[in-house]
A and B are shown apart, each in its own frame.
Chain A
Amino acid sequence: NAGVMQNPRHLVRRRGQEARLRCSPMKGHSHVYWYRQLPEEGLKFMVYLQKENIIDESGMPKERFSAEFPKEGPSILRIQQVVRGDSAAYFCASSPQRSYEQYFGPGTRLTVT
């Protein structure tokens, strides 16, 4: 029973490029959450999605960031025109329903040069 998968594990982008981060939830899980961890800080909630629906994006920056969870395939967190301040570890978590315990992936470390 594979856990939450995230790829790539490391991503380097130059300022102005686009970053696409992928998350495959655990089998049977239809709820996906994205978090961002800046250096020396805790995880900050970004967005909560179910299949084909964004349920809560209150933690997403208003511009350049978007997320989707299509009917087929992984959830995608997309960052357009990346800036240095976007450098962080991005974690995806999933749950079988809207439950308290979320299972985290290994994260994608984004570095913007």
Chain B
Amino acid sequence: DQQVKQNSPSLSVQEGRISILNCDYTNSMFDYFLWYKKYPAEGPTFLISISSIKDKNEDGRFTVFLNKSAKHLSLHIVPSQPGDSAVYFCAARETNNNDMRFGAGTRLTVKP
């Protein structure tokens, strides 16, 4: 059961423009959401997170938006840089549950 979905397997963006990565979830009990970034041959690296009590969290070039009614979150990267090229995983979990659910990932390519 795919409780966290990233429907776009890949995204290509020009350097300097905005990258928008999307994620949908089905479990309304999820109350914490995270984005991880993964380079080839490395483990995922935590990027940014958001609690369900918020609808936006910003950290430098990265902003995560949460729309609880739509069960949708997105990661905005602006301006995009070639070094941002990686696979981005969306993850979600609920309080008191050890099981963090990951999406299948979106491969972002930022072209110089």
Which residues of A does B touch, CB under 8 Å? 4, 6, 33, 35, 40-45, 48, 55-56, 58-59, 91, 93, 98, 100-107
Contact = CB atoms under 8 A, between A and B. Distances in A.
B109 interface: no
A45 B93 CA distance: 11
Given A104-B45, A106-B41, A45 B99 contact: yes
Contact count band on B? 20 to 34
Given A56-B99, A101-B34, A43 B46 contact: no
Given A98-B98, A104-B45, 15 more contacts: A6-B43, A35-B102, A42-B102, A43-B89, A44-B102, A45-B99, A45-B100, A45-B101, A56-B98, A100-B34, A101-B46, A104-B36, A104-B43, A106-B41, A107-B41
A91 B98 contact: no
Contacts of A35: 102
Contacts of B83: none
Contacts of B4: 42
Interface of B: 4, 6, 32, 34, 36, 41-46, 49, 89, 91, 93, 98-105
Of the listed residues B6, B32, B93, B104, the one surrounded by the most CB atoms of chain A closer than 10 A to its CB is: B104
Contacts of A98: 98
Given A4-B43, A43-B44, A106-B43, A100 B93 contact: yes
Contacts of B102: 35, 42-44
